[in-house]
Structure 1
Amino acid sequence: MIIHTFALSKSLTQQIDQHFDPLFEIYAAQHQKHHIDLEALFDQTEVYRRFQEQNARHTLFTSGKGALRMISQALTLQDHKISVSYIGESAARDPQFTYFTENTKENILIKNFLAEQLHLTGEINALPHDLRLGALHQDIARARPHLADSTILFINLNALRWADAPAQSGNNPSGLTTEEANQLAYMAGQSHKNQFLVLYGLDHPHRDPHQLTLNSVVQILWYYQYAAATKPQIWPIPEDRRQDFTIESSMMSGNLQFCKDRLTNQWFHKIPFKLAPELAHHQWITTSYDEYQATANEDIPHRILEWYDIA
């Protein structure tokens, strides 16, 4: 079950329904839709604080400015640590995400940054958990390991090119296409770890008389729903689909374990240290065939090594 929550101005509520309802009719038994007032956004705090007790996954689309503040407050009220992914043109220029990261330092294990644009970030060297816009354009499948282990996926609509989301702030002609954003949402939807998809940045709806932005948002939500309901990555992998690989590495005292789902062709790696009980769900992390090959050649990728640091 996925619960889709909309915290929008009253003028946008009917518009989003016109796009959402026809597409989601096929998943009537697998989703719920709720509208809440912008002033009631902080009433959602318990949903995000008690995420490990949830039997459903949640999406949130809001035109307000307080969503990430609410989520950061929720995370600081509990003891679990999570991984998050951010999709936007520049995290450093995003005051909502900046507030979130500054106030949840003790609650975040790994932060992934996807689709940032070099000319906006000013950071020449990408970090292990960065996957910039150009890299995504070249091979969007590289995003899967980043997204699949993230409890929360944040999407600022400025990650999309202006032509696809003219209601965003700014007018940047470069960015993700809606189709690419759909693919990223699909990857997150498949994940057995992801619990939340949060979309924000609907800052200037008056600039979008044709409702292209709302159309793009509903498509993103639909592909997230489709993946979760129809194409989920089953975990643990059924024995008849699982293929195990063991690597003897001079860099580690023990062997390194990988496995592949032969049906979905998705790869996983077992962190070679026993994690604390509250981190046990990260004992196996999503990887790629390229990362498996690099590890087999005694060149463990930095992205994996950073996961080792959580032990």
Structure 2
Amino acid sequence: MTPKILVVGAGAVGGYFGARLAAAGHDVTFLVRPRRQAQLSATGLCLVSPLGDATLPPHMITADQIIHPYDIVILSVKAYSLAAAMVDMAPAIGPQTRIIPLLNGMRHLDVLASRFGREAVMGGTCFIVSSLDGEGRIHQAGVTPRLVFGPLVAGQDANAMTDALSAPGFETVPSPHILQDMWNKWTLLASLGTLCCLMRASVGEVARLPGGTDFVHATIKECTTTAAAVGYPLAPDTINAITKRLTQPDSTLTSSMFRDLSQGAPVEAQQIIGDLVARARAHGIATPILDLTDLNLRAYELRRDTR
């Protein structure tokens, strides 16, 4: 039997992976809000990608239209939308459902497990550079995207799900060490987010300034020290890869959190920076740069909430 896949969210991440899976013939349904449903009904789900453009009529439902559990739920909303997403997707979660969250940070794992049970929640992360344009089209750039997922408790067989989650246009990676994979990405995101949000600049702009690379090295050190203290030390080659990526003087790379901040939009500050600071505190790790970034972003959120 072909597994039934529900993709929660049809934005830049879920829309991309879900569209590739649907185009490959998988049984994919998108759980969307009415506004996105109306947009996609009019235009189709459009991908603009160096790996091949595509436009398809997606199978969509809204929360009130869920009538049965799904086998796999790919959760791809922003971290600050998790509570609302859990309410919407609850009728889709049955005894055999496996949830693969692609949210940033780590705190969502406990939140999801508390609501749906630990046996339902797997670890997951993805690597993709994508964005939505004003017409709702998904633009993907850079290297081939990757979808990584793995077990968190006994009985979750990631390898058995590989075929159901494979399609041209991205790499599918079942991982036996998914928590380490997630910590590796969190370290990258927290370092990049700190660099861009605190400096209000791109990677290259900071790298070209006197003292810029020293700042980046110090930021990465705070993140990796925290990860090691919690029990997930990054391998030296992983740290070197992050450092190289964030010290390129010709790089135009910015974090999605910085792009959201620049537009006055909500940001994943507490999930990416605040939670990392809290874990550092619990282990007695000093993180002065992350502390300053956390304060900066909380001030931004306060001003945004009071407008």
- Asked whether the two chains share a fold, i.e. TM above 0.5, the reply is no
- The two structures have a TM-score, normalised by structure 1, of 0.26
- The two structures have a TM-score, normalised by structure 2, of 0.27
